Structure 1
Amino acid sequence: MRYTNEDIIRSLRRCAEHHNGKVTFDSYKQSGLKPNITTVVKRFGSFNNALRQSGIDLNKNRTKEEIINEFRRTMASFSYIPSQIEYKKLNTNPTLQTMAKHDLTYMQALKEIGINLPNRSITSKTRSRKCDVCGTVFLPHNGRQKYCSRDCAYELVKERQKMKHQVRSKLWWKQQ
Structure 2
Amino acid sequence: MVKGSLAVNKTRKPRKLKYTNQQILDAIRHQYRLHEDCLTSDQYKDSRQLPNLSTAIKRFGSVKAVWKAAGLKVPKKKTNYASKRYVNFKTISIEELLEFLRHSLLTIGYIPLALDYSKMKQKPPLAALSNRGLTWRQSVEKAGFSFDKSREAGKLIPLDEGFANSRKYRDRARKQKLRAELVRLGRCPQCRKPWEEPKPNGRGKKPDHCRQCQIYYKERYEDRRRNVDES
Query: The TM-score by the shorter chain falls in which range?
Result: 0.3 to 0.5
Q: Which has the higher contact order (CA 8 A, sep 6+)?
A: 1
Q: Which has the larger radius of gyration?
A: 2
- The TM-score, its normalising length taken from structure 2, stands at 0.29
What TM-score comes out, normalization by structure 1 length? Answer: 0.38
